[in-house]
Amino acid sequence: MLESEIEKKVNAYAKKLGFLTYKFQSASCRGVPDQIYIRNGAVIFIEFKSANGKLTPLQNREIKRIRQKGVEVHVINNVDLGVSILDNIVNNKGNKYQSYYEAGANASENEQMTTGMSLGQKCAWRAGFLESKGISWDEYNMVNNYSH
């Protein structure tokens, strides 16, 4: 599916949920995410990509800068992922970007917990953490592949 088609469908869904949606275009700062979504005090940015789309180095830099300010930025390449992110906000499941960070940080900081485990066991440990936060493997991997 084309990036523009994904964006259009996610925007339509966001509006049904009561989000304000803004196309984010900045003449003075290229590389910013495509959309801003606002609802009940929650503000998130979403960068849309086609199924095989990749972030440019400039987009990576801008996304990291926004995240460093504590704001969620998601990179999505399908409608279901966008719907899931918006639903989590509506259902007040918290800041998912922080959960992604925790999943990565916990995996490295708790190395002693996983010492002696096989790769499969380590993956199962991380999968359990992600599941407890309501995050799918695909969503976690997409964020980490684009942001690191």
Q: What is the pLDDT of residues 44-74, one digit of tens each?
A: 999 999 988 899 999 999 999 998 888 889 9
Q: How many domains does the chain have?
A: 1
Domain CATH for 104: 3.40.1350.10
Report d(CA 73, CA 48) in Å as an integer: 11
10-14, 23-27, 110-114, range with the lowest pLDDT: 110-114
The 10s digit of each residue's pLDDT in 84-102 is 999 988 887 544 544 444 4
Cα–Cα dist 2/67, whole Å: 26
Sheet holding 72-76, edge to edge: 20-23, 35-39, 42-48, 72-76
Domain span at residue 36? 3-147
What is the per-residue pLDDT for 5? 95
Coil, strand or helix: which one is 93? coil
Q: How far apart are the first and last CA of the chain?
A: 25
Instruction: Tell me the pLDDT band of 18, cut-offs 50, 70 and 90.
Output: very high
